[in-house]
Structure 1
Amino acid sequence: MNKTELKEFLEEKVNQYNTLDFIDSDPVQIPHLFSQKEDIEIAGFLSATIAWGNRKMIIKNAHHMMDLMGNTPYDFVMSHTNEDLIRLENFVHRTFNGNDFGGFIKGLQYIYQNHDGLEAVFAKNQEKNSLQKSIHEFKKLFFEVEHLPRTQKHISDPLNNSAAKRINMYLRWMIRQDTKGVDLGIWKSISPASLSCPLDVHSGNVARKLGLLSRKQNDGKALAELDEKLREMDVNDPVKYDFALFGLGVFEGF
């Protein structure tokens, strides 16, 4: 395929997969349960944090996270007691356990009490066509509160050459604005042009087959290469092509 044909093919796949049906099998359904901005962004952040492995198990455990917080995530974050955190201790999703969960609740409370919330933190450090520095600075801030050293591994740092797939996916949920109803688009202070593709094994393999990516590892350098190619096709909304790459990989085995 030449560039024009490739763009047309991917646009077709975006339209195929960026529909409300996508929500039923994706953890993006969790923040869709809520209407208050803070509930949406906290539910999305926690769900994205555990979004690796079997998708049904991710969704099941993300629902369990919400249940443990009384399905009022913002209220739980802001007014939890030590006894409330003890209730979280039996939670486990792969290597993310109840102690990590408790550490995340404390980190979120710190962000809302002292730094005007999640959107403000990410918006403060945005650069043109990149939120990777924002992610780096967010991680530093998030772990200024007391936490177990092991908990830090659950937020990737793109400045350490990580593709930071889960947090880039979370930012897509919060920032992308279209009329399709999948991404929530509740953050208005950050442009979708700054988003990076949530690069994982599926999207990476499809991108290589389509000639969008030459680097073999799914790391920060590969992400920069893929982002550049996607911006050539749509500079204002490059990450819409995540729907195409993910759909082709997961649903079509491309």
Structure 2
Amino acid sequence: MNFEELKEFLDFKADQYNNPNFIESDPIQIPHKYKIKEDIEISGFLASTIAWGNRKMIINSATKMMDALGNNPYDFVMNAKKEQIDTIDNIVHRTFNSVDFRFFIQSLRNIYENHEGLEKVFSSNAALNLQNRISNFKKVFFEINHPIRTTKHISDPLKGSSSKRLNMYLRWLSRKDNKGVDFGIWESISPSELSCPLDVHSGNVARSLGILKRKQNDQKAVQELDETLRKFDPEDPVKYDFALFGLGVFEGVK
């Protein structure tokens, strides 16, 4: 396919999968349970943090996390007593466990009390590109005393990571979507800045379509894919995440 044919194909596929039906089988359903901005961004952050592996397991694990927070994420983060946090011990999703979860609660409280919330941390230093701001977010997230084991659960694109889960989270919160999937409640981050959440499915499909050459799913591959997707749509490049993911997961393209 030439450029125009490929753009037309990907536009069609993005439109096909970017609809409310997508929510039913995706971890984005977790923040869709909430209406308050802070509840959406906290529940979305926690759900996206564990978004690797089987999607049903991800959704089940994220639901347990919300149950542990009394299904009032922001209120729990800000007001739970130390004893309430310390008694949480039933959270396990692959390598993420209750030790990590308890620290996440503490760090989120620090972010809302001392940094004006998640959106502010990700949107600070606007002169930097978004991947640099993701790296800065990790520094803020672990600025308080923390278990060393927990640092692996927040990626750093400046160390070569594709940061798939954080890029997906930023898509959820920042992308303006008239289809009802992504929230678009973070006005301070432009959808044009967003990077595609690169994983095994989207990477394989992108390679099969000839829009990604690099073999590893790392930060260099993200940059390569971004460059092409921004040519297709400079204002909303990550809408093509729906196309690449849908082709890989639902249509079995490899």
Which sections of structure 1, spanning at least 5 residues, go unmatched? none
Is the counterpart of residue 26 in structure 1 residue 44 in structure 2?
no
Q: Distance in 1 between matches of 2:242 and 2:87?
A: 36
Number of aligned residues: 253
Contact 1:68 1:87 in 2 (8 A): no
Q: Deviations over 1:107-147 (max 9, x none)?
A: 1001000010011111113447x410110000000101111
Amino acid at match of 2:50: I
Contact 1:17 1:244 in 2 (8 A): yes
Q: Aligned residue for 2:105?
A: 105
Is the counterpart of residue 245 in structure 1 residue 235 in structure 2?
no
Is the counterpart of residue 196 in structure 1 residue 192 in structure 2?
no
Is the counterpart of residue 47 in structure 1 residue 47 in structure 2?
yes
Q: Deviations over 1:154-204 (max 9, x none)?
A: 000000010000000000000001210000111011100000000000000
Contact 1:125 1:133 in 2 (8 A): no
TM-score w.r.t. the length of structure 2 is: 0.98
Q: Aligned residue for 2:5?
A: 5
Is the counterpart of residue 56 in structure 1 residue 71 in structure 2?
no
Q: Which moved more, 1:194-203 or 1:83-92?
A: 83-92
Q: How does 1:156-175 map to 2 (within 5 A)?
A: 156-175=155-174
Identity percentage of aligned residues? 65
Q: Secondary structure at the match of 1:253?
A: coil
Q: Distance in 2 between matches of 1:125 and 1:89?
A: 37
Q: Aligned residue for 1:185?
A: 184
Q: Secondary structure at the match of 1:163?
A: coil
Q: Secondary structure at the match of 2:24?
A: helix
The CA RMSD over aligned residues, in Å, is 0.9
Q: Aligned residue for 1:152?
A: 151
Q: Distance in 2 between matches of 1:210 and 1:125?
A: 35
TM-score w.r.t. the length of structure 1 is: 0.98
Q: Secondary structure at the match of 2:151?
A: helix
Q: Distance in 2 between matches of 1:22 and 1:90?
A: 29
Structure 1 ranges of 4+ moved more than 6 A: none
Q: Distance in 2 between matches of 1:43 and 1:135?
A: 18
Q: Deviations over 1:55-98 (max 9, x none)?
A: 00000110110000000000111111222112322210000000
Q: Distance in 2 between matches of 1:37 and 1:12?
A: 31
Q: Deviations over 1:12-54 (max 9, x none)?
A: 0011000000000000000010010000000000000000001
Amino acid at match of 1:181: G
Amino acid at match of 2:8: E
Contact 1:193 1:237 in 2 (8 A): yes
Q: 1:209 to 1:127 in 2, by over 3 A?
A: farther
Amino acid at match of 2:40: I
Q: Aligned residue for 1:225?
A: 224
Contact 1:107 1:143 in 2 (8 A): yes
Q: Aligned residue for 1:123?
A: 123
Q: Distance in 2 between matches of 1:57 and 1:42?
A: 19
